[in-house]
Amino acid sequence: MNILIICNPNSGRGNSFSFAKKLKKRIEKVSSYSAEIYLSKSVEKMREFFAEIKKERPNFYNSILILGGDGTFSLAVDALLKIGLNVPVAIFPLGTVNDFAKQTHMAKSVKKCVSTILAQKTKKCDVAFVNGDYVVNVACGGYFTHGVNTYSRVAKKMFGKLAYFGKAAFNVFNMRAQKMRYTIDGETFEAETIMYLVMNSASAGGFKHIGARAKIDDGLFDLCVIKKARIGRLARTAIKILGGRHIPDKCIEYRQGKNFKIELVGEKPNPNFLKSDFDGNVGEKLPLEIKVDNKKLEIYYGD
């Protein structure tokens, strides 16, 4: 078995490369397998690297281990699926929030992570194809969804999740709802929207239970729309979300489906809704067209 370790040097507060070396050493110590480290300095270089593997040695790697957060994992998976490399992948959770990594139950321990890989503990999970890109966990937009993209790497390294929550707190008193149109499997509704999320798993943006009915292998993504309301009412809804008790709630529209279309309504849209966020990376401009691909990706799954 040959294992490829993809390392984002900017994840793990700058410590991801040292983790990569520990993983490589552990793999080669306890097994007869070889491990290779690849530093993902840019998405373009990573795509070129995968294309070269597909052409020159398509069956060389049996496993790919990705070190970083949800954003790094999503970009790597997008590149792999587009190139057509059908290799089981694992995420080693070194990002700021690690929403999807939590759903895979992959430990942060090098020893436990390697044990999972060597035991070949895998399962198939869903992904979504959104405006030409693969999304693993969440496509979202509106208020509170762009903290990942607006904070510097330095701030994220220093403050972690607090950087995101600080951004959210600043936005609370400056919100202007946007009228949106949502179509799920042919059924359409409109809503004055504060935030929307289309999710694969229960956890998004650090909120562990916001996708209350979501499962990563059920062939569905879950739409959660937080609607316009007074600050006090939204605060009560936020408390419910923290405990996973927000269905039903007057401020929330929650649907499940296989095909989604999300559109802006009106001639002067709110700038906060013009772009989306895909797994913590800058996403596409609206409208979004989302198609769920059932059990497209094979992932390593911990205990």
| pLDDT surpasses 50 at 258 | yes
CB 64 within 8 A of CB 6: yes
- The per-residue pLDDT for 221 is 98
| pLDDT surpasses 70 at 12 | no
Top pLDDT among 137 and 86 is at 137
Where does residue 275 rank: exposed (0-12), middle (13-18), buried (19+ CB within 10 A)? middle
Asked if residue 162 and residue 255 are part of one domain, the reply reads yes
Question: 101-105, 160-164, 281-285: lowest mean pLDDT where?
Answer: 160-164
Question: 160-174, 218-232, 247-261: lowest mean pLDDT where?
Answer: 160-174
Percent of the chain with pLDDT over 90: 58
Asked if residue 162 and residue 60 are part of one domain, the reply reads no
The reply to whether 299 falls in a domain is no
Q: Which residues contact 234 (CB under 8 A, 6 or more apart)?
A: 194, 226, 251
Asked if residue 142 and residue 92 are part of one domain, the reply reads no
**pLDDT level of residue 231 (50, 70, 90 thresholds):** confident
Asked if residue 269 and residue 149 are part of one domain, the reply reads yes
Number of domains in the chain: 2
- The per-residue pLDDT for 201 is 94
The residue out of 92, 120, 148 marking a domain boundary is 120
The residue out of 87, 120, 153 marking a domain boundary is 120
CB 80 within 8 A of CB 87: yes
The stretches of the chain forming alpha helices (DSSP H) are: 16-30, 43-56, 70-83, 99-104, 110-118, 147-150, 153-159, 161-171, 231-242
How many CB atoms sit inside 10 A of residue 228's CB? Answer: 16
The reply to whether 303 falls in a domain is no
**pLDDT level of residue 284 (50, 70, 90 thresholds):** very high
Q: What does the pLDDT look like over 88-100, one tens digit per residue?
A: 999 988 877 788 8
Q: What token pair was written down for 13?
A: 């507060």
Asked if residue 245 and residue 155 are part of one domain, the reply reads yes
Q: What does the pLDDT look like over 116-159, one tens digit per residue?
A: 999 999 999 999 999 999 999 999 999 877 654 444 444 444 43
The reply to whether 185 falls in a domain is yes
The reply to whether 173 falls in a domain is yes
Top pLDDT among 43 and 123 is at 123
Q: Are strands 2-7 and 63-68 parallel, antiparallel or unpaired?
A: parallel
DSSP for 231-297 reads HHHHHHHHHHHHTT--SS-TTEEEEEESEEEEEE-SSS--GGGSEEEETTEEEEESSEEEEEEEEEE
| pLDDT surpasses 90 at 41 | no
Asked if residue 155 and residue 83 are part of one domain, the reply reads no
Q: What does the pLDDT look like over 236-247, one tens digit per residue?
A: 988 898 888 899
How far apart CA 87 and CA 298 sit, in angstroms, is 7
| pLDDT surpasses 80 at 188 | yes
Asked if residue 169 and residue 49 are part of one domain, the reply reads no
**pLDDT level of residue 161 (50, 70, 90 thresholds):** very low
Asked if residue 114 and residue 31 are part of one domain, the reply reads yes
Asked if residue 265 and residue 144 are part of one domain, the reply reads yes
Q: Hey, CA dihedral for 197, 203, 206, 210, is it positive or negative?
A: positive
Question: 104-108, 177-181, 196-200, 267-271: lowest mean pLDDT where?
Answer: 104-108
How far apart CA 270 and CA 274 sit, in angstroms, is 7
What average pLDDT does the structure give for the chain? 87
User: Side-chain half-sphere of 99: how many Cα atoms within 13 Å?
Assistant: 27
The reply to whether 14 falls in a domain is yes
How far apart CA 193 and CA 180 sit, in angstroms, is 6
- The per-residue pLDDT for 13 is 58
Tell me the backbone φ, ψ of residue 239, rounded to 5 degrees. -65, -40
How far apart CA 255 and CA 47 sit, in angstroms, is 34
Asked if residue 167 and residue 273 are part of one domain, the reply reads yes
- The mean pLDDT of 289-294, rounded to a whole number, is 98
The residue out of 120, 148, 166 marking a domain boundary is 120
Domain with 202 in it: 138-293
For residue 95, give the CATH number of its domain.
3.40.50.10330
The reply to whether 36 falls in a domain is yes
| pLDDT surpasses 60 at 18 | yes
- The per-residue pLDDT for 153 is 47
- The per-residue pLDDT for 173 is 62
Q: Which residues contact 96 (CB under 8 A, 6 or more apart)?
A: 69, 148, 156, 160, 161, 163, 164
**pLDDT level of residue 183 (50, 70, 90 thresholds):** very high
The reply to whether 65 falls in a domain is yes
Q: Are strands 187-199 and 138-142 parallel, antiparallel or unpaired?
A: antiparallel
Q: Give the global pTM.
A: 0.88
How far apart CA 13 and CA 131 sit, in angstroms, is 31
For residue 236, give the CATH number of its domain.
2.60.200.40
Asked if residue 107 and residue 244 are part of one domain, the reply reads no
Please give the C-alpha separations between residue 278 and each of 156, 198, 285, in angstroms, as whole numbers: 18, 10, 11
Top pLDDT among 14 and 121 is at 121
Asked if residue 72 and residue 13 are part of one domain, the reply reads yes
The reply to whether 127 falls in a domain is no
How far apart CA 71 and CA 48 sit, in angstroms, is 19
